[in-house]
Amino acid sequence: MNEAIPVSRVTDHGTAKLMPDVDRRRAWLLTVDGAPQSYVDLDEPEHLEFEYTRRLGHVLDTVAEPGRALEVLHLGGGAMTLPRYVSRTRPGSRQDVVEADRALLDLVAEHLPLPDGAGVTTHGADARAWLEAAPADSADVLVADVFGGSRVPARLASVGYVREAARVLRADGVYVANLADAAPFPFLRAQLAGFATLFEELALIAEPGVLRGRRFGNAVLVAAHRPLDTATLARRTAADAFPARVEHGSALRAFVGDARPVRDEDAVPSPEPPAGAFGIG
């Protein structure tokens, strides 16, 4: 874009706004119906502004040796923050991005285009339907950051969805998702219970205040069939501006407690955030 002026457009799922950051020359904030969705710096795509996005980035950094190209499936596109990050930090990676809001994809492509050779293919489709049709053993990493409004859809919150994710991931693949909940964490605990039925290794990354039940917030779920580099994740997340904790092993099993996996017919969306939880001034 030649001028840093805000852009607003009604898309398939709400009103999207792109707002320039006055502190970074080619950085943009995407909101949908007032809720922040993505932050992108076109000149410095490795800059991750949102804390939960930084945590997702830490996971992406530790799933394989630095710089190794990966095949990554993103459910939820937004302004393509993480696909841009992977393209910059792991050149040569091949990435698919599935976003249900086709008009949002068009808006981002028009105003915040991906660089040539980024290796990113976008798909305007429902995340669960696309996953069910995807080839088995086709992804090294599956990143899920799908919110309908401010809630994770029920279709992405059942053990049936977990089975599809496990099918699409390779044997050494890693699943990572952005979720949101508050104490006593009925949604988050059920999600962990569901992933525990198919994945041997689990980790949860969240701010201590969220884990202690003091407030509603984001939590990053990580699942794999192989040991996760929780020591490196713990160091990196603890060093962030808003430090987070990495729960795994016996502590995470205690957190899950007696929660049970959720069947498709019983699945519900993540809870509605309290007013102002994810808003901007």
The answer to whether residue 272 is domain-embedded is: no
Considering the entire predicted model, what is its pTM?
Answer: 0.95
Q: What is the pLDDT of residue 281?
A: 33
The answer to whether residue 258 is domain-embedded is: yes
Q: Count H helices, E strands: the chain?
A: 9, 12
Q: What is the pLDDT of residue 274?
A: 87
Contact yes or no for 83/120 (Cβ under 8 A): yes
The answer to whether residue 269 is domain-embedded is: no
The answer to whether residue 250 is domain-embedded is: yes
State whether residue 93 is helix, strand or coil.
Answer: coil
DSSP assignment, residue 272? P
Q: Which residues of the chain have pLDDT under 70?
A: 1-3, 276-281
Q: What is the pLDDT of residue 58?
A: 98
The answer to whether residue 5 is domain-embedded is: no
Show the domain range for 107: 45-264
C-alpha distances in Å from residue 87, one per residue of 53, 90, 158: 15, 5, 30
- Per-residue model confidence as pLDDT tens digits over 47-93: 999 999 999 999 999 999 999 999 999 999 999 999 999 999 999 99
Q: What is the pLDDT of residue 1?
A: 45
The answer to whether residue 71 is domain-embedded is: yes
Compute how many other C-beta atoms are within 10 angstroms of the C-beta atom of residue 253. Answer: 13
- When divided into structural domains, the chain yields a total of 1
DSSP assignment, residue 273? P
Q: What is the CATH number of the domain that holds 53?
A: 3.40.50.150
Q: What is the pLDDT of residue 277?
A: 62
The answer to whether residue 192 is domain-embedded is: yes
